[in-house]
A and B are shown apart, each in its own frame.
Chain A
């Protein structure tokens, strides 16, 4: 059930990605649906699941963008691991906590990408700070809205659904 939810979430993220690419090209520079999905899934504190979610979502994002294949998978995996590790010790709940984790994850994600691009491609990302700020604001706002809607419709704390009782 948890993986079914993730699969549906991944399809929705890819749909958003396609829609934005079709109608608002370059909009993904200011909004990242995959981070929302991965952080939502990692908030359950299941590190193994979070890593898998980060890798899968990253691969899909890489496959449909012109980045090096594995770049987003790497950065999302790092984010997922960090968030899942924190939530494995501190069970953070509520949309504010989700928003805070999401904001932190976006910043980490962008920093990792910035560093990897610098190392591997020897390129500098232009207007990095501005893009990071806009992306953080838009993604966090949209992510918190999604979180609230899911809480409303699922009638439970959505993170509970992604929580595993078994340790790796």
Chain B
């Protein structure tokens, strides 16, 4: 395609020769200054100064992009680490709880063991698997039955005190009547004065001590133990503490005893095998 004549410059060759000559001189000058240590001429420095914002901006953008990129990677890594650490924390917390539980169990079992060694009877350990302390008939179920030697009228206690007696056994389980049950009676004595009486449950959370004469020295705070006179419960097992001792309408006092055992928190128990008590006595026991 032909181009109009007025578009073609008239003396371009002269111009380009002049420009190239000047550039050659500049190059030669620049080449000479390279060897005397002045590697940047004034003109070169001026061009660099004018355009220096561009590389600086590119460098800044590149740095920012790298920061964002690595920041994102670091964040992802941190998030993953966080998830991993949370998992570890959950796992360690569970383990810690288990260890605490084990420690607590061990302390409790040790105290139970130490307590059980006081008895002259054969004892064994059992664990509560069911707890019915809310109803009128207070009972618990333990995980030892006749197969493990548990028999009716075996006494159940823990480190705090008396719990009750076995009223029914199966091969694997045993039902225990608590001392707070309406139908449970225990021969008892006041530790301080050795005054004897009978402790009976009333279906509530506390028990009553009967047959304490009005003139007997019985005060709130006195400790009540089993007396060992009923043919079932061995002597000396703590039943509770007297919380109220008031004169009754007859010859006897009305004595209220708070059980030593918290029946809502029974876990491991000691089964005291009272086999040496004659079966005949057991049969007529309350």
Contact = CB atoms under 8 A, between A and B. Distances in A.
B48 A63 contact: yes
B30 A69 contact: yes
B58 to A, nearest CB: 4
Interface string A135-168: 0000000000000000000000000000111111
Contacts, number: 114
Given A14-B51, A63-B51, A168-B15, A68 B62 contact: no
Given A51-B19, A63-B51, A81-B12, A69 B3 contact: no
B55 A120 contact: no
B43 interface: yes
5 contacts: A51-B16, A55-B23, A74-B20, A77-B16, A81-B12
A17 to B, nearest CB: 8
Contact of B26 (A14, A19, A69): A69
Interface in A1-24: 11, 14-15, 17-19, 21-23
Range of interface residues on chain B?
Answer: 20 to 34
B6 A165 contact: yes
Given A60-B51, A63-B48, A89-B8, 19 more contacts: A14-B54, A17-B55, A18-B54, A21-B55, A47-B9, A51-B16, A59-B43, A60-B47, A63-B44, A64-B48, A69-B40, A70-B23, A77-B19, A77-B20, A91-B1, A120-B28, A164-B7, A165-B6, A167-B6
B62 A19 contact: yes
Range of interface residues on chain A?
Answer: 35 or more
Interface of A: 11, 14-15, 17-19, 21-23, 45, 47-48, 51, 55, 58-60, 62-64, 68-71, 73-74, 77-78, 81, 84-85, 88-91, 116, 120-121, 163-168
B51 A168 contact: no
B5 to A, nearest CB: 8
Contacts of B20: 74, 77-78
Contacts of B57: 15
Interface in B18-72: 19-20, 23-24, 26-28, 30-31, 34, 40-41, 43-44, 47-48, 51, 54-55, 57-59, 62
Given A23-B62, A63-B44, A69-B43, A74 B9 contact: no
A78 B13 CA distance: 11
Contacts of A68: 27, 30-31, 34
A48 B12 contact: yes
Nearest to B39: A66
Contact of B44 (A14, A15, A69): A69
B54 A11 contact: yes
B276 interface: no
A117 B135 CA distance: 108
Contacts of B283: none
A45 B30 CA distance: 31
Contacts of A14: 51, 54-55
